[in-house]
Amino acid sequence: MQIENFIGGEFIAPLKKNYLENLNPATGKITSKIPSSTKEDVEMAVKAAQNALPNWSQLSIDERIIWLRKIANALESRKEDVAALESMDTGKPISLAKRVDAARSVSNFEFFAEHAENLIELNYKMSDATNYVTRKPVGVVGLITPWNLPLYLLTWKIAPALVMGNTIVAKPSEMTPLTANLLCEILTSIEFPEGVINIVHGLGPSAGQSILEHPNIKAISFTGGTATGKIVAQTAAPMFKKLSLELGGKNATIILDDADLPNAAKGAARAAFTNSGQVCLCGSRILVADNIYDEFVTLLINEVESMTIGNPSDENTDIGSVISSEHMEKVLSYIELAKQEGGKISVGGSKLTLPPPNADGAFIEPTLIEGLAIDSRCATEEIFGPVASIHRFITDDEAIEMANITEYGLAGSVWTSNPTRGKSVAERIDSGILWVNTWLHRDLRTPFGGVKSSGVGREGGDWSLNFFSELSNICVKEE
Ligand code: NAD
């Protein structure tokens, strides 16, 4: 299969005719060739987006909401294809791709349609005047997304950008381009207005960087690693572009001494190993109260040992491959480092060789490590794989201090039979998203984003609609 860029409503080959190979990480086989786009391709996409802007931005919000619902319906009818392509591109289990990736890609459009429908415009009355807060689209916006939740995260940005009247130049990860391409096929099938959504495939330093640098792209919404986020900020901030940065994490799962331990063990295992630990919100540092430590860790190990690792296409598989053999080597090198840092592998710890068709796949056993210092590299750096460390604490204050020790501040969860205690512990953790007795339980109206090196800004609900709008205040003096 060879895919092309989607510019001005057409599938177009990259101008320099260079292509990259795209692999299925669970088999090691090449599945497709994708454009290795350059500045010139981005230029063409920006022109198409600029041409489409007047008509799209002049539609009423109700007309744009109708388009969002049309996309949602068309995507819904291709959900099985979305899941199959996502599983093939990422190596994630097909059941997870159906339940999470495909479902959320549809619900992102449904949610933002409904949320925009209920948007209340603000007026502030003074004794002698009224302030009217008005919205305009930002213009052409640039969206850059990672490989772990490909269409889920791309549509999480596309839907609010569209409904607020912007036109789009987007670059999905070069590792996972296939569902973005499917979205373009769907847009064609519903005769979506040409040039409103443009997709340019390729590498970060060329295609991605050209999006960041383009003077006619007025806002950048980026989700990816913290190191890349710094480059994004360095490039876009001096150009005064609006910026949203959703970056890495090293999140704590805190098991308090009064937790329902079997339930907490299930939750902690899910938080650590969903998508092979390749979710920015994954709980990769498990902090456990000293007096329940042994009992909890036994339950946790049982949970991990009951996970089925295997062919992602098998409906019973819980854990598939990681994203690439290079990433597998990076994760394995962290496991080696953990041993040098004094860690003891409690479960897992190795590369896994599966029978054909997965013999060349990038599989790693879900791995738990005990005995690491809380400030060791393995306990503080983002590994982004199926590896979690377990640490003891005595008091709640100590747990909070341990949770806050990293440079990151994205998410975390607290497990306790006392929700009030859980909430007050959560309030003292320096992170943007905290859960008590649950994990990844999402209401799309709520603010989503990190503090410290985990990002700048918030997405979700009104936060996304505000990011993709320019707000003006018009103060009208009354007689
Ligand atoms: P990455 O930073 O390597 O790449 C993300 C995107 O940026 C890709 O499309 C890539 O091609 C592009 N890119 C790379 N260099 C660029 C440059 N110089 N200019 C412009 N674009 C460039 O991240 P990844 O490895 O794809 O994803 C994993 C990371 O994403 C992890 O750190 C994870 O925590 C993070 N992430 C964060 C969230 C969140 O919401 N906070 C969600 C998912 C993933």
User: CATH number of the domain that 129 lies in?
Assistant: 3.40.605.10
Matching residue, tokens 């005595």: 394
Ligand 1: which of 280, 384, 433 to mutate, judged by most atoms within 8 Å of the beta carbon? 280
In the numeric block, which tokens belong to residue 276?
A: 């092979």
Please tell me whether residues 182 and 281 are part of one structural domain.
no
Question: Structural domain of residue 152, as residue ranges?
Answer: 5-247+454-477
Number of Cβ atoms within 10 Å of the Cβ of 418: 14
Q: 4, 184, 194, 280: which one is catalytic?
A: 280
In the numeric block, which tokens belong to residue 78?
A: 């291709």
| pLDDT tens per residue across all 479 residues of the chain | 999 999 999 999 999 999 999 999 999 999 999 999 999 999 999 999 999 999 999 999 999 999 999 999 999 999 999 999 999 999 999 999 999 999 999 999 999 999 999 998 899 999 999 999 999 999 999 999 999 999 999 999 999 999 999 999 999 999 999 999 999 999 999 999 999 999 999 999 999 999 999 999 999 999 999 999 999 999 999 999 999 999 999 999 999 999 999 999 999 999 999 999 999 999 999 999 999 999 999 999 999 999 999 999 999 999 999 999 999 999 999 999 999 999 999 999 999 999 999 999 999 999 999 999 999 999 999 999 999 999 999 999 999 999 999 999 999 999 999 999 999 999 999 999 999 999 999 999 999 999 999 999 999 999 999 999 999 999 999 98
Beta strands in 256-316 (DSSP E): 283-289
Please tell me whether residues 24 and 45 are part of one structural domain.
yes
CA distance 344 to 371: 6
Please tell me whether residues 16 and 159 are part of one structural domain.
yes
Expressed in angstroms and rounded, the spacing between residue 5 Cα and the centre of ligand 1 is: 20
Please tell me whether residues 291 and 416 are part of one structural domain.
yes
- List, as one string, the DSSP characters of 302-354: HHHHTPPB--TTSTT-SB---S-HHHHHHHHHHHHHHHHTT-EEEE--SEE--
User: pTM value?
Assistant: 0.97
Please tell me whether residues 315 and 459 are part of one structural domain.
no
Please tell me whether residues 464 and 424 are part of one structural domain.
no
The answer, yes or no, to whether any atom of ligand 1 lies below 6 A from the CB of 459, is no
- Atom of ligand 1 at shortest distance to CA of 202? 11
CA distance 209 to 415: 41
The amino acid occupying position 290 is: D
Question: What is the pLDDT at residue 479?
Answer: 82
The answer, yes or no, to whether any atom of ligand 1 lies below 6 A from the CB of 410, is yes
Please tell me whether residues 202 and 172 are part of one structural domain.
yes
Query: Total domain count for the chain?
Result: 2
Which of 466, 459, 469 lies closest to 108, judged by CA?
Answer: 459
DSSP 400: H
The verdict on whether 280 is a catalytic residue reads yes
- List, as one string, the DSSP characters of 159-210: HHHHHTT-EEEEE--TT--HHHHHHHHHHHHTTPPTTSEEE--S-IIIIIHH
- Atom of ligand 1 at shortest distance to CA of 224? 30
Please tell me whether residues 420 and 467 are part of one structural domain.
no
Matching residue, tokens 């992170």: 431
Please tell me whether residues 242 and 263 are part of one structural domain.
no
The verdict on whether 378 is a catalytic residue reads no
CA distance 359 to 401: 43
- Atom of ligand 1 at shortest distance to CA of 146? 26
Question: What is the pLDDT at residue 419?
Answer: 98
The answer, yes or no, to whether any atom of ligand 1 lies below 6 A from the CB of 35, is no
Ligand 1: which of 144, 199, 239, 454 to mutate, judged by most atoms within 8 Å of the beta carbon? 144
Q: 194, 246, 382, 459: which one is catalytic?
A: 246
Please tell me whether residues 30 and 119 are part of one structural domain.
yes
* β pairing state of 251-255 and 411-415: parallel
How far, CA to CA in Å, does 241 sit from each of 167, 212, 221, 405?
15, 9, 10, 32
DSSP 239: G
Residue 410 near residue 229 (C-beta atoms within 8 A): no
Residue 6 near residue 49 (C-beta atoms within 8 A): no
Is 35 buried (19+), middle (13-18) or exposed (0-12) by CB count in 10 A? buried
Question: What is the pLDDT at residue 121?
Answer: 84
The answer, yes or no, to whether any atom of ligand 1 lies below 6 A from the CB of 202, is no
Please tell me whether residues 102 and 214 are part of one structural domain.
yes
- Atom of ligand 1 at shortest distance to CA of 455? 41
For the CA atoms of 263, 265, 271, 275, what is the dihedral angle to 10 degrees?
A: -110
- List, as one string, the DSSP characters of 8-41: TTEEE--TT--EEEEEETTTTEEEEEEE---HHH
3-state secondary structure of 389: strand
Please tell me whether residues 202 and 306 are part of one structural domain.
no
3-state secondary structure of 228: helix
Number of Cβ atoms within 10 Å of the Cβ of 373: 14
Question: What is the pLDDT at residue 68?
Answer: 98
Residue 155 near residue 109 (C-beta atoms within 8 A): yes
Expressed in angstroms and rounded, the spacing between residue 292 Cα and the centre of ligand 1 is: 37
The values of phi and psi at residue 56, to 5°, are -65, -45
The answer, yes or no, to whether any atom of ligand 1 lies below 6 A from the CB of 174, is yes
Expressed in angstroms and rounded, the spacing between residue 323 Cα and the centre of ligand 1 is: 13
CATH number at residue 289: 3.40.309.10
Residue 348 Ramachandran class (φ > 0 left, ψ -120 to 50 alpha, else beta): left
* End-to-end Cα distance, the chain: 68
Residue 248 near residue 453 (C-beta atoms within 8 A): yes
Residue 383 near residue 394 (C-beta atoms within 8 A): no
Beta-ladder partners of 251: 283
Tabulate helix, strand, coil % of the chain (nearest 5).
40, 25, 35
